[in-house]
Amino acid sequence: MTMTLYVVPGSHPCAAVERALRVKALPYERVDLLPVAHNFVQRRRFGAGTVPGIVFDSGEKLTGSAAILRRLDELVPEPPLLPGDRLMRAEVVQAARWGEEVLQPVARRLVWAALKRDSGAMMSYTEGARLPVPRRLAALAAGGVAAAEVRIHGASDPDIRADLVNLPHHLARIDAWIDNSVLAGSAVNAADLQIGAGVRLLLTLGDVEPLIAGRPAGALARRHFPEYPGHVPKGTLPASWFREASTSVGARLVPDVTL
């Protein structure tokens, strides 16, 4: 089976799917697209503007990391991305959905907010990618791209400050899932991939990395995504936002991790 995977370099849902293809030892061709421009390309090819998108050798086309992971499991059942045990499977499905619907946008917002402040760091996310335009040109467009992505994804300053207040709760939830073996079990599953990729992207932010580094969530991300492009230096996001988040009412609440 051969397939073509359409990605934006550094995109975490794309990384999740790419890792799934490797877990299943499936050969694929990867096509790197540039952020914002990818929207038009994807819309034309798939009818939906996001990455990842995949074209199977049958001609079948699919976008959306969750849908692609599900389809990969149908087409190539071994090794499975969902556990055989019914109860554990339900937990993994729930965690994977949270990883896509809750954590994924948080990581995306934080990265674009940081890149808007330091657009020079954007090219670090394209390391190892084969860009469709000369790198010099891509670098020139970085500032405009970051500003557009901040608008597209609603990554305004108040959004980011709220994300930073919520982040410890998200990390506590992930650590609890690891504790219950929903994540980081003996076999990699769909939730490891969705959540691991989101945390791994967050680890590329020098300002956020210290909040994650020593935690089980950080180890999970590095285990499944040892290599990940991109780095935004510490000090890019205002330090006052982190102080404010750590002293907020939200930070004093016991994280709700009843799973």
Cβ contact 109:153 at 8 Å: yes
Residue 142 vs 245, nearer CB to ligand GSH: 142
* Residues 6+ positions from 142 with CB-CB distance below 8 Å: 115, 119, 120, 122, 123
Residue 41 vs 219, nearer CB to ligand GSH: 41
Residue 125 vs 168, nearer CB to ligand GSH: 125
Q: What are phi and psi of 6, to 5 degrees?
A: -100, 125
Residue 39 vs 204, nearer CB to ligand GSH: 39
Rg (CA), the chain: 18
- Least distance in angstroms from the C-beta of 106 to ligand GSH: 12
- Least distance in angstroms from the C-beta of 154 to ligand GSH: 12
Residue 53 vs 83, nearer CB to ligand GSH: 53
Q: What are phi and psi of 42, to 5 degrees?
A: -65, -40
d(CA 113, CA 132): 24
- Least distance in angstroms from the C-beta of 64 to ligand GSH: 4
- Least distance in angstroms from the C-beta of 209 to ligand GSH: 19
Q: For 10, what's the count of Cα atoms within 13 Å in the CB-facing half-sphere?
A: 24
List residues near ligand GSH by CB under 6 A.
8, 11, 13, 35-36, 39, 49-52, 64-66, 100, 104, 108, 149, 152
- Least distance in angstroms from the C-beta of 77 to ligand GSH: 22
- Least distance in angstroms from the C-beta of 13 to ligand GSH: 3
Residue 42 vs 171, nearer CB to ligand GSH: 42
Q: Write the burial class of residue 236 (CB in 10 Å: 0-12 exposed, 13-18 middle, 19+ buried).
A: middle
Residue 144 vs 210, nearer CB to ligand GSH: 144
**DSSP E strand boundaries for the chain:** 3-7, 29-32, 53-56, 61-63
- Least distance in angstroms from the C-beta of 251 to ligand GSH: 28
DSSP state, 215? Answer: S
d(CA 228, CA 115): 16
Quick one: how far is CA 95 from the chain centroid?
14
